[in-house]
Homo-oligomer: A and B are copies of this chain.
Amino acid sequence: MSDSAVSVPSGTLPRAVVDLLGLLAYAELGGFFRLSADAELAPSLTDRMELAGLAATEYEHFTRLRDRLADAGEDTAAAMAPFVGAFDAWHERTRPQSWLESLVKAYVGDGIAADFYRQVAELVDPETRELVNAVLTETGRADFVIGKVRAAVDVDRAVAGRLALWARRLVGEALSEAQRVATERRELALLLAARDDESGTGEELADLGRLFARITETNAERIKALGLTV
């Protein structure tokens, strides 16, 4: 059950919002599995505990999105299905080869998720917005990463260059998958571009391009906070 005060009868969520919730749900579930697996790279038990904690938070977020879908009479697995390929492909193409790479991935992924949640909160109904904001207040937990990466970079400046490239690749691959999803899920793209018209002019893709550019910029700031040059 969701914490929403008002219950939503079956079938009342627009297709685009179901898509959005399905996308976010699989982002969290996939993130949960990936962070859990990456924890094998941790150099100490304490680090493994911290990464497990991040993973568990992603699972918690997943359950909120799942419950919201269930309350609206939607099947979570069906809602997630269109996005599994894109997220799995992203994780497949960005398998960390070291503990530092996995930390940067957790941090960048968490940051992109926060940007995205912030963006969509403006575009949805009040109940979905409440859910999105609740999840948003709990992101940014990857901030513990900053200290660890800065410490490693201080010891070896060559690490900074490699990790900066890695962080850029993470975002680049994410946006390339996002682009693919946007062309395949037109209603979702229209929602994200904040456009009501179904005129088929394709301008929502240009708007989405601007959204992606903003996410890239925010990410560049975030990478600077890690002490990495971009």
Chain A residues within 8 Å of B, Cβ to Cβ: 29, 32-33, 36-37, 39-40, 44-46, 48-49, 52-53, 55-56, 59-60, 62-63, 66, 76-77, 80-81, 84
Complexed CA–CA distance, A56 and B61 (Å)? 12
Q: Is the CB of A59 within 8 A of B52?
A: yes
Chain B residue numbers with a CB within 8 Å of A46 are 76-77
**B residues within 8 A CB of A77?**
44-46, 49
Question: How many copies of the shown chain assemble into the complex?
Answer: 2
A46 to chain B minimum Cβ distance, whole angstroms, is 5
B49 contacts A39, C-beta separation under 8 Å: no
From B37, B56, B66, give the contact of A37 (CB < 8 A). Answer: B37
B contact residues around A32 at 8 Å (CB): 36, 52, 56
Picked from B33, B40, B52, B56, the residue with its CB within 8 Å of the CB of A39 is B33
Known A36-B36, A37-B36, A37-B37; contact A29-B52, beta-carbon cutoff 8 A: yes
Docked Cα-Cα span, A39 to B39, in Å, equals: 15
Q: List 27 A-B contacts (CB under 8 A).
A: A29-B48, A29-B52, A32-B52, A33-B39, A33-B40, A33-B48, A33-B52, A36-B36, A36-B37, A36-B55, A44-B77, A45-B77, A45-B80, A45-B81, A46-B76, A46-B77, A49-B62, A49-B66, A49-B76, A49-B77, A52-B62, A53-B59, A53-B63, A56-B56, A56-B59, A56-B60, A59-B59
Chain B hits for A62, CB < 8 A: 49, 52
